[in-house]
Amino acid sequence: MRRYVHPDPADIRLPEVLFALSDATRLGIAVQLSDGGERTAGELGGDIAKSTMTHHLKILREAGVLYVRSEGTRCYNSLRLGDLEGRFPGLLDQVLGFAVKCGYTSAGARR
Amino acid sequence: MRRYVHPDPADIRLPEVLFALSDATRLGIAVQLSDGGERTAGELGGDIAKSTMTHHLKILREAGVLYVRSEGTRCYNSLRLGDLEGRFPGLLDQVLGFAVKCGYTSAGARR
């Protein structure tokens, strides 16, 4: 089973979080996960190339925005809603609210 | 007199704004300008190399975060507070509030 490294909540840094959210595809991924659910890369990515999704999910994970849980051969992605809320209260909600308004509602949304 | 290109308010895009703010130096610049004042690159940069400041100020300008006004041989930078508030109400205030808490209070702040 693959192991993924996640930063501790105290090590989640503002510039990295903003960078992780500074891309249309990654905003779409975060919006899709904002219901608190878990999804595989395939479920999130739609028509997006697997390697592209891997790249975006890694940036989100390393910034502390996303948690990856391995189960057998599958990986399930979810947002670290509690950790982000503890670190930067209200920030993710606000950013994702604007993301929805701007049409970044899925990884492959056309804009 | 040098002319700078600035995006129209309607063309200010969320991913670009988040990217512009996803760097410790640029967060520090934005915090310094959050009083609504104008400052030259030299006033903002402290010990930071001029070319580095030029790079960061360009990213902030092209994202629509910063306005550059030329006067003679000098350039004065300010935040586009009204345009950003119109486009993404409350976002800049919230991000810069966290930036201050995290110690990103000037372009060259040590963290």
10-residue mean pLDDT profile of chain A (111 residues): values are 88 98 97 97 90 96 97 94 98 98 84 53
Best residue in A11, A13, A18 for a mutation probing chain B (most B CBs within 10 Å)? A18
For residue B45, pLDDT over 90 is answered with no
Nearest C-alpha neighbor of B102 from the set A14, A93, A85: A14
* B36-44: average pLDDT: 95
Q: Which residue of A has its CA nearest to B24?
A: A15
Residues above pLDDT 70, as percent of chain B: 95
Q: What is the ipTM, given to two decimal places? A: 0.94
Whether pTM exceeds 0.90 = yes
Q: Which residue of A has its CA nearest to B97?
A: A88
Q: Which domains does chain A have, with CATH numbers?
A: 9-101 (1.10.10.10)
A95–B18 CB contact, under 8 Å: yes
User: Contact A24/B15 with Cβ under 8 angstroms?
Assistant: yes
A18–B13 CB contact, under 8 Å: no
Nearest C-alpha neighbor of B102 from the set B33, B21, B35, B18: B21
User: Contact A79/A34 with Cβ under 8 angstroms?
Assistant: yes
Q: What values do phi and psi take at B13, rounded to 5?
A: -110, 140
User: What pLDDT was estimated at residue B107?
Assistant: 85
Residues of chain B numbered 46-105 and touching chain A (CB < 8 Å): 88, 90-91, 94-95, 98-99, 102, 104
The confidence band for B111, taking pLDDT boundaries of 50, 70 and 90, is low
User: What pLDDT was estimated at residue B110?
Assistant: 55
Residue B68 to residue B87: CA distance in whole angstroms: 19
User: What pLDDT was estimated at residue A67?
Assistant: 97
